[in-house]
């Protein structure tokens, strides 16, 4: 495929900004990358200096991808505290600098807040003392179920201050999903808010938490932040966060943590029904988040950085909170959505706060592109220097619009490929160092060794102009360490199929120049608006409904979401398909998992295409959902080929 290549000279980007020299040039990249894989111990020992250690490490890398012995440790004899690295060490130089700019859902009724590093220190210490007073200790788990408000960052950092492990549950998840995650890590405390305003609507978080807690141990406490002041019911496990913080001491010494102590758990979907608790640890994760934040976005002191993600996803962990704050940055935290009150909101915020680096998802870019250029053009975006994309491959139309209309051709676009499991960026262009190709994630970050494997044999595919599954040959500091409570599952999921390699779950192409292009998931995971959804998870929600006998869920191309959720549903004997039942199932999945899992299309399937051994042939279902049924391939092994004819005749996605 021939693509337009664009070199972004960094010297003259940003019309009104005195642009600093990029951290890494093309020549630096080549040299540093070679050094990082030739001698990882020396390379990462040097990078380890980015953090303040209480006790310096003497060992750097101690990792094994050997079958039966997956063991990943970085800087294992060093000790440190994450909140001290993100706050205390900046106080002398930047106590009065803004750490967090908080932008509310509705800018017409509320004002942005600027929180300095000193104020952040104060609030985090107070919240840490509140958590302690609720009995939270080093190693205990705290679930955070909050809107995008400063308290979410305070809560994360307060946990790290006292060595508690946080597990954030996205505020869009249902009570059921929240309850499963509270129980999954046996949390002592759940931190929530009365309501979560988003896009002009309010999610009743506290009442969701109450519902979730009905299915949790009695001793789990609920710490409630006041966001809107709306009416909520109060039970005797509830504690008033605002009142307690008012009373709490603003002094709280950071606890000394080992580099390999768990920092957080974050649940993510896989190809089985149960989400996995991805575990990240203290030293390696923080170092990797900080380093990638600085280099990939070419962040310089004084810059204003905005990642539009939610802290409920890993992107928010690494690039709203931990990476930027470890670097002493000013980070924007946005409560709202791209299109509220209107489709100019992102650009209004960029202009208002003079954002220098802007990081968002292709789905948002496509939605805003559809709203027209006027929304962009009426705002002064001259402060922008680097644009980022994450979550799914970015299609060239969206890339070009982002580049031309938002970046005015002056801002390199970093298309960052990574995962919840990887902690930080894995493949990405670097501003000032990489000749950009729209739609490609291009080059490995330092220390990352991508390999392309032949999917069935697992043989390494050498050379350029090749395709296969994307694996990583050796460990990097930001790598997840285990699945919470289930190391065997960790090993099986990521190291089971291709021995000796970390398997990403993605397919990729390495082009003639050696640049990487992600081609999408090769497992039963789909990517809906940049969010990962296990099809098995949606299927188990559907079959939990009394009228559903069987279901198969696949992805199909969706103009804005990237992929939409297409569900084939077989009803119980005696049940009649109807539009009401379709609505009922949509609502059902929303309440079982959350709004992001709601099927876009439901097709009534009298039967599903199965092999004689009873295995559903998903390949066929995907083709029909894509409206591409002419090329179904070999259907001779089907138990009942007629099933397919019915599915084609009644397909829902007709172009
Ligand atoms: C999956 C990980 C960590 C970022 C947010 C999503 C897809 C992510 C890209 C990209 C192509 C991408 C992959 C990956 N993905 N970024 N730049 N280009 N695909 O994190 O929920 O853990 O999902 O998102 O399929 O495996 P996640």
SS3 category, 638: strand
User: Which ligand 1 atom is the nearest neighbour of the CA of 421?
Assistant: 22
Annotated binding residues for ATP, written as ranges, equal 391-393, 415-420, 506, 521, 532
Could you tell me if 540 and 398 lie in one domain?
Answer: no
Between CA 150 and CA 332 the distance in angstroms is 10
Distance CA 464, CA 509 (A): 9
Per DSSP (E only), the strands in 559-635 are 562-571, 601-604
Q: Which helix (H) or strand (E) holds 102?
A: strand 98-103
Q: What is the pLDDT of residue 641?
A: 84
- The enclosing domain of 435 has a CATH number of 3.40.50.12780
Identify whether 2 is part of a domain.
no
Please, which residues have CB within 8 angstroms of residue 29's CB and are 6 or more apart in sequence?
430, 433, 434, 443
Tokens 């650009």, located at residue: 347
Angle between helices 618-625 and 642-649 (to 10 degrees): 20
Q: What angle do CA 88, 169, 196 make, to 5 degrees?
A: 90
Cβ(270)–Cβ(534) under 8 Å?
yes
pLDDT at res. 539: 95
Q: What's the rounded Cα separation, in Å, for the pair 460 and 469?
A: 10
What separation in Å is there between the alpha carbon of 520 and the centre of ligand 1?
Answer: 9
Confidence check: pLDDT of 329 > 70: yes
Work out the average pLDDT over 178-205.
Answer: 97
Q: What are phi and psi of 585, to 5 degrees?
A: -70, -35
Predicted local distance difference test score (pLDDT) of residue 623: 94
Name the residue of 417, 440, 494, 523 to mutate for ligand 1: max ligand atoms within 8 A of Cβ: 417
Are the C-beta atoms of 407 and 360 separated by less than 8 Å? no
Measured in Å, residue 530 CA sits from the centre of ligand 1 at 7
Residues marked as binding?
198-201, 315, 391-393, 415-420, 506, 521, 529, 532, 543, 545, 548, 590
Instruction: Report d(CA 136, CA 162) in Å as an integer.
Output: 8
For the chain, give the percent of residues with pLDDT over 90: 92
DSSP state of 391: S
For residue 17, the model assigns a pLDDT of: 43
List, in order, residues 6 or more apart from 297 with CB less than 8 Å away. 305, 357, 359, 386, 388, 414, 431
Q: Are 276 and 336 in contact (CB under 8 A)?
A: no
Tell me what the mean pLDDT of segment 297-322 comes to: 98
Centroid of ligand 1 to alpha carbon of 291 (angstroms):
19
pTM for the model stands at: 0.95
Identify the residues whose C-beta falls under 6 Å from ligand 1: 268, 314-315, 390-393, 415-420, 441, 504-506, 518, 521, 527, 532
Q: Are 144 and 166 in contact (CB under 8 A)?
A: yes
Encode pLDDT of 51-99 as tens digits: 999 999 999 999 999 999 999 999 999 999 999 999 999 999 999 999 9
> Cα–Cα distances in Å, from 280 out to 81, 112, 314, 413, 465?
14, 32, 11, 28, 34
Question: What average pLDDT does this structure show over 121-128?
Answer: 98
Residue 629 falls inside a structural domain: yes
pLDDT tens digits, 220-267:
999 999 999 999 999 999 999 999 999 999 999 999 999 999 999 999
Can you tell me the distance from the alpha carbon of 364 to that of 393, in angstroms, rounded to the nearest whole number?
A: 13
Which of 508, 538, 562 is at the close of a domain?
508
Asked if 334 and 258 sit in the same domain, the reply is yes
> What pLDDT is stored for residue 637 in this prediction?
82
Same domain, 70 and 165: yes
What pLDDT was estimated at residue 640? 87
Domain limit, last residue, from 508, 542, 574: 508
421-451 tens-digit pLDDT: 999 999 999 999 999 999 999 999 999 999 9
Q: What is the pLDDT of residues 515-552, one digit of tens each?
A: 999 999 999 999 999 899 999 999 999 999 999 999 99
Pairing mode of beta strands 141-145, 165-168:
parallel
Residue 638 lies in a domain: yes
Closest atom of ligand 1 to 428 CA is: 17
Distance from the alpha carbon of residue 317 to the mean position of ligand 1, in angstroms:
15
Q: Which residues are annotated as a binding site for Mg(2+)?
A: 543, 545, 548
Burial class, 575, CB count within 10 angstroms (exposed 0-12 / middle 13-18 / buried 19+): middle
pLDDT of residue 4: 47
Q: Measured from the CA of 518, which atom of ligand 1 is nearest?
A: 11
How many Å lie between the centroid of ligand 1 and the Cα of residue 378?
Answer: 32
Omega before 490 cis (within 30°)? no
* Atom of ligand 1 at shortest range from CA of 531: 21
What H or E segment, with its residue span, contains residue 558? Answer: strand 548-558
The average pLDDT across 459-474 equals 98
Query: Which atom of ligand 1 lies at the shortest distance from residue 389's CA?
Result: 17
35 C-alpha to center of ligand 1: Å?
27
Domain that holds residue 378: 38-508
Cα 452 to ligand 1 centroid, rounded to whole Å:
17
Query: Which residue lies with its CA nearest to atom 2 of ligand 1?
Result: 419
Is position 339 within any domain? yes
Last-in-domain residue among 452, 473, 508: 508
Residue 467 shares a structural domain with residue 533? no
Are residues 478 and 543 located together in one domain of the fold?
no
CB atoms within 10 A of CB 214: 8
Residue whose CA is closest, atom 20 of ligand 1? 419
Identify which of 518, 526, 555 to mutate to test ligand 1's pocket (most ligand atoms within 8 A of the CB): 518
| pLDDT over 90 (residue 6) | no
Give the residue, by CA position, lying nearest to ligand 1 atom 18: 393
In the predicted structure, residue 129 carries a pLDDT above the cut 60: yes
Q: Which of 315, 362, 418, 450 to mutate to test the pocket of ligand 1 (most atoms within 8 A of CB)?
A: 418
Task: Measure 630 CA to ligand 1 centroid, in angstroms.
Answer: 30
CB 530 within 8 A of CB 456: no
Q: Which residue has the tokens 């919240």?
A: 127
Q: Give the closest residue to 592 by CA, choosing from 553, 552, 539.
A: 539
What phi and psi values does residue 265 have, to the nearest 5 degrees? -115, 140
Where are the alpha helices (H) located in 372-460, listed in sequence order? 374-377, 396-401
Quick one: how far is CA 70 from the chain centroid? 24
Spatial distance between the Cα atoms of 430 and 78, rounded to a whole number of angstroms: 30
> Does residue 43 sit in the same domain as residue 83?
yes
Tell which atom from ligand 1 comes closest to the C-alpha of 422: 3
Average pLDDT over every residue of 383-411? 96
- Of ligand 1's listed atoms, the one at least distance from the Cα of 504 is 26
Whether 655 is in a domain gets the answer no
* Residue-by-residue DSSP string for 489-540: HHHHHHHSSSTTSEEEEEEEEE-TTS-EEEEEESSSEEEETTEEEEHHHHHH
Stretch 489-515: mean pLDDT: 97
Buried residues in 19-52 as b, exposed as e (16+ CB within 10 A): beebbbeeeebeebbeebeeebeebbbebbeebe
Same domain, 535 and 441: no
> Quick one: residue 14, left, alpha or beta (phi over 0 = left, psi -120 to 50 = alpha)?
left
- From the list 529, 153, 498, the residue with the least C-alpha distance to 332 is 153
Q: CATH code at 542? A: 3.30.300.30
User: Three-state DSSP class for 305?
Assistant: strand
Residue 14 has pLDDT above 70, yes or no: no
Rounded CA separation 627/649 (Å):
11
420 within domain boundaries:
yes
Question: In this structure, are 325 and 354 located in the same domain?
Answer: yes
Q: Which two tokens stand for residue 655?
A: 């172009």
Domain check: are 440 and 571 in the same one? Answer: no
Confidence band for 176, pLDDT divided at 50, 70 and 90:
very high
Are 372 and 413 found together in one domain? yes
The structural domain count of the chain equals 2
Q: Which of 392, 428, 504 to mutate to test the pocket of ligand 1 (most atoms within 8 A of CB)?
A: 392
pLDDT for 559 beyond 90: yes
Which mutation among 419, 424, 508 tests ligand 1's pocket best, with the greatest number of atoms within 8 A of CB?
419
Looking at ligand 1, which residue's alpha carbon is closest to its atom 1? 419
For ligand 1, atom 27, which residue shows the shortest CA distance? 419
At residue 635, the pLDDT reads: 81
Q: Does position 634 have pLDDT exceeding 90, yes or no?
A: no
Q: Is 448 in the same domain as 378?
A: yes
In a domain, residue 28? The reply is no
Shortest-distance Cα residue to atom 6 of ligand 1: 391
Cα-only R_g, the chain: 24
Which three-class secondary structure string do you get for 1-46? CCCCCEECCHHHCCCCCCCCCCCCCHHHHHHHHHHHHHCHHHHHHH
Residue 15 belongs to a domain: no
Residues 545 and 439 in one domain: no
């Amino acid at each position: 495929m021939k693509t337009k290549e664009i070199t972004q000279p960094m010297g003259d980007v940003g019309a009104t900004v005195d642009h600093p020299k990029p951290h890494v040039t093309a020549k630096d990249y080549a040299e540093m990358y070679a050094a990082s894989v030739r001698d990882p111990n020396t390379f990462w020992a040097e990078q380890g200096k980015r953090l303040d250690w209480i006790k310096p490490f003497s060992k750097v890398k101690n990792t094994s991808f050997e079958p039966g012995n997956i063991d990943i440790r970085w800087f294992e004899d060093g000790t440190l505290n994450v909140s001290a690295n993100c706050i205390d060490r900046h106080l002398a130089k930047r106590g009065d600098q803004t750490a967090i700019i908080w932008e509310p859902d509705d800018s017409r009724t509320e004002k942005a807040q600027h929180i300095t590093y000193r104020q952040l220190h104060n609030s985090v210490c107070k919240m840490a003392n509140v958590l302690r007073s609720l009995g939270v200790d080093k190693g205990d788990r705290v679930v955070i179920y909050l809107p995008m408000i400063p308290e979410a960052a305070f809560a994360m950092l307060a946990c790290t201050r006292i060595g508690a492990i946080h597990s954030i549950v996205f505020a869009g998840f249902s009570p059921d999903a929240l309850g499963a995650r509270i129980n999954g890590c046996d949390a002592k405390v759940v931190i929530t808010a009365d309501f979560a305003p988003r896009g002009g609507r309010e999610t009743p978080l506290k009442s969701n938490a109450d519902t979730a807690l009905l299915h949790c141990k009695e001793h789990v406490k609920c710490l409630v932040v006041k966001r809107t002041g709306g009416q909520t019911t109060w039970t005797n496990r509830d504690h008033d966060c605002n009142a307690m913080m008012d009373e709490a001491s603003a002094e709280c010494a950071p606890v000394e943590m080992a580099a390999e102590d768990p920092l957080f758990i974050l649940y993510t979907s896989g190809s089985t029904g149960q989400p996995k608790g991805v575990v990240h640890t203290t030293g390696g994760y923080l170092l990797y988040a900080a380093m990638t934040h600085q280099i990939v976005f070419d962040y310089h002191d004084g810059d204003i950085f905005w990642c539009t993600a939610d802290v409920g996803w890993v992107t928010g962990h690494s690039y709203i909170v931990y990476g930027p704050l470890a670097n002493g940055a000013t980070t924007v935290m946005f409560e709202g959505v791209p299109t509220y009150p209107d489709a100019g909101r992102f650009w209004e915020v960029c202009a208002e706060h003079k954002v220098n680096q802007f990081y968002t998802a292709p789905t948002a870019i496509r939605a805003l592109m559809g709203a027209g250029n006027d929304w962009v053009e009426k705002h002064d975006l001259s402060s922008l220097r680097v644009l980022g994309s994450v979550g799914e491959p970015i299609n060239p139309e969206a890339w070009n619009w982002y580049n031309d209309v938002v970046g005015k051709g002056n801002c390199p676009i970093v298309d960052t490929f990574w995962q919840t499991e990887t902690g930080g960026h894995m493949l990405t262009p670097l501003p000032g160092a990489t000749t950009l190709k729209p739609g490609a994630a291009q080059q490995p970050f330092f220390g990352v060794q991508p390999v392309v494997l032949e999917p069935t044999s697992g043989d390494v595919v050498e050379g350029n102009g090749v395709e296969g599954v994307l694996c990583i040959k050796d460990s990097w500091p930001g790598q997840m360490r285990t699945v919470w409570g289930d190391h065997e599952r960790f090993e099986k999921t990521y190291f089971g199929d291709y021995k000796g390699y970390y398997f990403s779950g993605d397919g990729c192409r390495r082009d003639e120049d050696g640049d990487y292009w992600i081609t999408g998931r090769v497992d039963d995971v789909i990517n809906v608006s940049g969010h990962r959804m296990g099809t098995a998870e949606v299927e188990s929600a559907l079959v939990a409904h009394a009228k559903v006998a069987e279901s198969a869920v696949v992805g199909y191309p969706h103009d804005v979401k990237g992929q939409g959720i297409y569900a084939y549903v077989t009803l119980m004997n005696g049940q009649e398909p109807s539009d009401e039942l379709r609505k009922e199932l949509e609502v059902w999945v929303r309440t079982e998992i959350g709004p992001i899992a709601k099927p876009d299309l439901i097709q009534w399937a009298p039967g599903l295409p199965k092999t004689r051994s009873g295995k559903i042939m998903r390949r066929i279902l995907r083709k029909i959902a894509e409206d591409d049924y002419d090329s179904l391939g070999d259907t001779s092994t089907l138990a009942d080929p007629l099933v397919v004819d019915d599915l084609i005749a009644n397909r829902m996605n007709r172009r």
